[in-house]
Structures are given as structure tokens and as C-alpha cells.
Structure 1
Amino acid sequence: MKKIIFLLALLLLSKAPAFAKPLTVGFLVGQSGIGDQSFNDMTYAGLIKAKQELGIEVVVEDMEKTESAAEKAMQRLIFRRAQVIVANGFEFQKLVETYAKRYPNIYFIMHDVPIGDHDNVVSTVFAVEEGAFLAGVLAASMPDTRKLGFIGAVDIPVLKPFLTGFQAGVRYASPRLPIEVAYISEAPDYSGFNSPAMGHAVATEMYERGVTIIFSVAGLTGNGIIQAARGANRFVIGVDSDQDHLAVGHVLTSMMKRLDIATYNEVAKIAMGRFKPGVRYYGLLEEGVGLSPMTYTRNQVPPKILNRLDEVRLKIIAGDIRFPSTAKPAKGTP
């Protein structure tokens, strides 16, 4: 009986007005959960800023990472009258496409997956390969660099641009420098996003094999990789958020993916009645990706390398450096 009442309530909500003030925004948290100090926490930071500056209400669903749990979380957000739902990650694509059709009066913000055929969905695409290219140039240019490493959470398409961009940057700076690549788990096992202990073990073995700097792209698992860098007295490159403080002096830089900026921007447009569906592209030009300020390590980077990074960044923006890139929306796409 309760299930029938719940479904009837959802049906009624599907015909509700667009939204009323204050705007309620639901957050479907991705694989590595809240507290990953990376992908999810960056998005949450954008929501908190929107709450403080725009007066929105935020409802968080950090559910068990299964399809059935995700759908129930989506239904709970709708039942709680969320007028906007932010879905953080590729695993929610089908769910968003299904519920966007079912609830045309709810706005959806889909991070990391281009969805361009729904009037109530805006999706973000980040040119992570541009930021990863800079990370590769920096890592390959550092004094005493002998061998580099890349550790990804899972070998899936959404992580490929991090690797290809990093490899291209390394080749640009030092064509013959070896790069060792490892993944924590294989799809459909996504535990690689939530395994700090495994990340620590894999990274420690890499450092013992002579890797000087590791680029970590692994969500919560990256925290273990960062601590391995501290233990080995080596460098690591963080990802998504500014992770430099997690092991002061050992996180060379972080390749920041500005989900905070993208989330705030898209929520603000909805709050101000300026929503436009389609794909939003966030690259170096849009300040959607880039390296952290290197607060604790900048004094260890020779000035000529810092100058080179600035030059390479401008060349990428100008289109003078070409490498495997995220497809930009077609001309005229919002």
C-alpha cells in the first residue's frame, strides 16, 4: 500500500509547476561519495556556494552505489520536491534520460556525460585532457624525473582523456620518458573509486619500481595514493579538487576539474530563469580545468618550468597544440 501511495505521489509531482522559491536542488552523489576531497566534494562546494549566495535548499543523496539504489534515491529527491537534480557522474546517464522524460518540469544537471536532446537537461563536458596535458608537461620537466606513473580508478571511457592528455604532455616535454599505467579495478567493478588502501598499495609498488611522480585519477582511492607519495618521499599529482594540502610538499600539483564553478553557474541560471538545455563545454579557456596554485611546492619548481607551463597553457587555448581532445558542442549549441 505504501508503495502505491509513493508512486501516486510521484505521478502527481510530474505535473507540478516548474518550481517555487526557495529553489530546492537535489544532489545524486557519484561513485566515490561525499568526503572524497575530489570529484563529489567539488560539486558539493558549488552547491554550498549557491546555498549561501542564492538561498537555495540542498538535498543530498549519497546512496549505495547500485542501479536500484540510485533510482530509489532519484525518487526520494522527486518526492521531496526537488526542482533541480544534479547527477554527478557517468553512472547516472540512463537514469537522468529516463526521468527527464518522465518529469519535464524538473531541471537536470548532468556532469561528465553529454546529453543534448532533452529540453530540461543541461550537461557539462570538461576538457580534462587540456589540464592533464599541463600536468604531463610539468611532471616530465621536473628535475630528476626518471619514470612517471598513472593510476586510474577503473579503465572506463570517462577516464581515458586524463591518460591521453597526460601522455601527450609528457611526450611534448620529454618524448622518451617511460610512463607506467595501472587501474585499481575493472568495469563493471567500480570499487576502484573507493579503495584508498588498494590505491596506497599500488602506488607504493610503483614508487618502489622507480616511478618518480604519479598522476592519480581515482576519486576517494586517490587519498591512499597521495599518502603513498608521502611515505615514499616522492611526488604525486592530485585530481579534480586542489588536493595539495593532503600531503604538504608531496602533492606537486592537482589537475583541477572545476565542477564547483560549473555547478554554481548552471544552478544560478536556473534560479534566475535563464536555463538553456544542451551541452556546456568547460576547458582552459572557460577556466573549467587547470593546475592548482601549487601552494606548498611552487618553490620546488624551477622558474623556467613555471614559465613554460604558462606558455603551453596559452598555446593550448590558441589551438597551437593539438592532441586527443573532448569533442566540443556543435556550433550554435548553448
Structure 2
Amino acid sequence: MRRVTKVAASGIASAALALSLAACGSTSEQKAQADSSSSGTGAAGGVKVGVAYDVGGRGDHSFNDSAARGIDKAKKEFGGSVKELTAKTTDTEADRLDRLSQLAEAGYNPVVGIGYAYANSMKQAAQKYPDTTFGIVDSSVDAKNVDSIVFTEEQSSYLGGVAAALKTKTDQVGFIGGVDVPLIKKFQAGYEQGVHDTNPKIKVDVQYLSHGSDTSGFASPDKGQAAAQGMLDKGADVIFAAAGSSGSGSIEAVHGKKGAWAIGVDSDQYQQASLAQYKTSILTSVVKNVDVGVYDLVKSIHDKKPLTGTNTYSLAENGVSLTASGGYLKDIQAKIDAAKQKIVDGKVKVKTTP
């Protein structure tokens, strides 16, 4: 098992093949149809990459877009071609397996599943196509030809909680989770701990948009907006949404209340062009560099040294971080840096469950 020891930040913007999201309400089904035909041809001998996105797909301003940046960087550097498919909220296990199998059968290598939902289907696909290297983000799959790309989301979420606690004026903040699953619970746990370690008197409102196998909570901006509005109406003035494209709805709601702050997730949402009209309300973003993990995998295939095993991207290695775009953290940056150092030094152990 290999552990990543050095992770460099990657900021390559999405290339021309990016599917732009015209409106927050675009469905994952519509994007699935468009993404399924997205491909590019690069230099001869380049890497042929197959990507199976989570619901929301490329253009979600968050999790999937972070992965897309890694794909775009790799294609720019190594040439080759890219085939992108996107999950639907109605997917079954058979649908996910079929998506991965389509890519492997067509000769794409690596085949990357973006999201924990691909774990079971990827294990089956890896056995079926032993000569293909697979990659999965946010889950560990025990197979000799799989690179499991995982992050310490709870650590960067802790820093987001510190920021929320230092910025709230009402002593009430909110957390919105896309789906009530262990992965998103890590975000909640870190955020709540960061808030309460900073000021135990602060109340944290928590709401999930969907549960269990229903993944619509990651692709429903209207649900995110309604949840955030409800929290704002009850007095919350800082809201962190770990909910994929649903988070854009939360950010929109926060922007409508003077003095309130939104905390973005996975991508630096202050820098997202599609969210530019709301950026004065985006305090910071809890980032995990999915782009780096995906790029590392593609590069390893290009170098003919495929990554396999579980590769962990942590706060100490800049695999996760808290952004400073907009300059809204300047007055509290020293305290955030101190909290980060305590985590890196092992003086603070961040919980992974609430």
C-alpha cells in the first residue's frame, strides 16, 4: 500500500471540452446525455482516459469539477483522449457497472469512478478487466488494479468550522449535507468539532437533503436553497454545504441575506465563474484536491508505473485545505493557521463521525 507523501496544488481551468452548466437547475440526466459524447483527441501515444462522474457531472461547480480539472491538466500535458459519462440519480448498481464496463471495453485506461457510489461496481469491473487500471475517489476498493484515492475531508472541514465560529455574529451556524452517508458525515463531524473547539456555545443546525441510496441531494440546487433559507430564517449566519451542485442553491440563498456567509466545498467556489454573482458572500471553501489525485493516476499510467492501493491525501500534504480567496479570512487567518498546525502536529485529532 502506498501513501502519498507530497501533493502539489493544481489550478488548471476546465478545457474546451467542459460542459457548462447554464442554470443551477440543470438535471444530471441532461448532463449524462451530453457528457456521454464528450471526447478529445490529443497527441499520438497519449493516455486514453475514461471518466465516470458522480451525479451532477462536469459543471457542478464542486466535486466533479475538481476531478475534471485533473483530467484537463493530464490531457493538456500527455495528449490522448477522454471519454466522460455521468451518473443519474436513478442509477442502480447494474447501471454503474455497465458505465465502467463500457469504458474498459472500449480500451480506456485508466477508468476513473468519481465518487463512493462506484465502489461495489468497480470491484466487479476490476475483476472483469484485470488489464485495466481503475481509480476510485472517496472509497477504498481492495483489488490489485485499483487506485483508491481518499482524502481527510474532516480536517479541512474542521478549519471551516473554526472560520465559521470566528465569523458568526449570531452564535448560530449551519451544515447542509447532500446525502446522509458516512463520507458526508466526515464533513459534518470535522465542521462541528472545529466550531465547538473554537466556541462551545455556538449552535450548529444540521440538515441532509436526501438519504441512503437516493443521491438526488447532490444534484438539487432547489433543495439546497430551501434548506439554507430555513436555517437563515432561524438565525444562522454562516452555512457550510457539502452537497455537490446542490450547494450552489445554498450559496444563492445566503447571498440574499445581508451579513451572512456561505462556505463552499471541494472546489474554490469563490473562483467559479458561474457563481461570480454570489462571490461576495463566499467566506471560504473547504477544498479537497480531487484534481491532484486524478492527475496523479493518469500520470502514473503515462509513466507506465500505475498507482494502486490506497493513496491518502491529507491536510499535512495539502491534499485538503481551506481557501483564502476574496481576502475575507485576513482578520482570522492567524487563528486558522494555528488550528491547522495543531492538526498537522497531531495535537488535535479530528473526528470522522458526528
- Offset at residue 70 of structure 1 (A): 2.4
User: Where in structure 1 are there 5+ consecutive unaligned residues?
Assistant: 1-19, 327-334
d(CA) in 2 for partners of 1:153, 1:323 = 21
d(CA) in 1 for partners of 2:302, 2:62 = 26
d(CA) in 2 for partners of 1:318, 1:325 = 18
Question: Would you say the 8 A contact 2:168–2:238 is kept in 1?
Answer: no
Match of 1:186 in 2: 211
Is the aligned partner of 1:57 residue 2:88? no
Match of 1:15 in 2: none
Counterpart pick for 1:171 among 196, 206, 209: 196
- Offset at residue 316 of structure 1 (A): 0.8
Say what the alpha-carbon RMSD is for the aligned residues: 1.6
Question: Would you say the 8 A contact 2:56–2:87 is kept in 1?
Answer: no
Match of 1:244 in 2: 270
Match of 2:320 in 1: 289
Letter in 1 for 2:263: I
Runs of at least 4 residues of structure 1 off by over 3 A? none
Question: Would you say the 8 A contact 2:151–2:314 is kept in 1?
Answer: yes
d(CA) in 1 for partners of 2:57, 2:306 = 27
What SS does structure 1 have at the residue aligned with 2:280? coil
Identity of aligned pairs, percent?
34
User: Where in structure 2 are there 5+ consecutive unaligned residues?
Assistant: 1-43
Counterpart pick for 2:289 among 258, 263, 284: 258
TM-score (norm 1): 0.87
Question: How does 1:188-227 map onto structure 2 within 5 Å?
Answer: 188-227=213-252
- Offset at residue 314 of structure 1 (A): 1.3
What SS does structure 2 have at the residue aligned with 1:248? helix
Match of 2:107 in 1: 81
- Offset at residue 21 of structure 1 (A): 2.9
Letter in 1 for 2:51: F
- Relative to structure 1, the CA distance from residue 302 to residue 79 in structure 2 (aligned partners, 3 Å threshold; closer, same or farther) is closer
Number of matched pairs: 302
d(CA) in 2 for partners of 1:32, 1:158 = 17
Question: Would you say the 8 A contact 2:175–2:241 is kept in 1?
Answer: yes
What SS does structure 1 have at the residue aligned with 2:189? helix
Determine which structure has more spread, i.e. the larger CA radius of gyration. 1
d(CA) in 2 for partners of 1:185, 1:64 = 15
Is the aligned partner of 1:158 residue 2:183? yes
d(CA) in 2 for partners of 1:310, 1:145 = 24
d(CA) in 1 for partners of 2:85, 2:168 = 45
Question: Would you say the 8 A contact 1:204–1:232 is kept in 2?
Answer: no
d(CA) in 1 for partners of 2:80, 2:199 = 48
d(CA) in 1 for partners of 2:155, 2:80 = 32
Letter in 2 for 1:242: D
d(CA) in 2 for partners of 1:176, 1:166 = 15
Per-residue CA deviations over 1:76-132 (Å, capped at 9, x if unaligned) read: 2123211210001111111110010111100001100012x3111110110000000
